Structure 1
Amino acid sequence: MTSTVAHWDQDAACRSADPEELFAESAQQNRAKAVCTGCPVRTECLAEALDSRIEFGVWGGMTERERRSLLRRPGVVSWRKVLEEARREHEQPHAS
């Protein structure tokens, strides 16, 4: 994986997907979200959508409605920092 913050989209699982699938409506959004499952840059994608306030489409496995819900949370300056920290915590081995 060659992902960097600036070029994360080069490693996106959806880079060859039909854009119509990613900007679907209603129940079809579940198919678009499935493309994100296991994507190596899912966190970067979601952070981009949240920080840039992208209104349409599935980004990082979340619909526009789901992202709007997150954006209502007060006090978050950078979603990229929040999501990267959450990923680091999730990836750490659990201490016994």
Structure 2
Amino acid sequence: MWIEDWAPSAACRQASPDALFVRGAEQNKAKQLCTGCPVRTECLAEALDNQIEWGVWGGMTERERRALLRRRPNASWRAVLEAARESGQKVSANA
């Protein structure tokens, strides 16, 4: 089930926004906030579909999201991620 208004359910909603907009090794800590988030997929789709360039979104860094966007520049990421979730597949920047 896709959650349209996903932000209020995000695991990071209690964190400082600055915690998600970091560089280098700090990004790994930021990505940990996304682990187990109930709306991780919706968050990632938002960032990809809107080509958000900064911060960790849906457990992916800017670099990881750019790799996905290069592979499928015209994709509807909501559709891709929703289908992957329904089929139990994982979308990876390295695949």
Pairing partner for 1:55 from 53, 56, 62:
53
TM-score by length of 1: 0.86
Amino acid at match of 1:79: W
Taking only aligned residues, the RMSD between alpha carbons, in angstroms, comes to 1.5
Bigger Rg, which one: 1
Runs of 4+ in 1 over 6 A off after TM superposition: none
Equivalences for residues 1-96 of structure 1 within 5 A: 4-5=3-4, 7-74=5-72, 76-90=74-88
Q: Which runs of 5+ in 2 are unaligned?
A: 90-95
Cα–Cα, structure 1 residues 56 and 4, in superposed 2: closer, same or farther, change >3 Å? same
TM-score by length of 2: 0.87
Percent of aligned pairs sharing the same letter: 64
Query: Relative contact order, CA 8 A, sep 6+: which one is greater?
Result: 2
Name the CA distance, whole Å, in 2 between partners of 1:8 and 1:18.
18
User: Residues 37-86 of structure 1, C-alpha deviation per residue, up to 9 Å, x if partnerless?
Assistant: 00000000000000000000000000000000000013643000000110
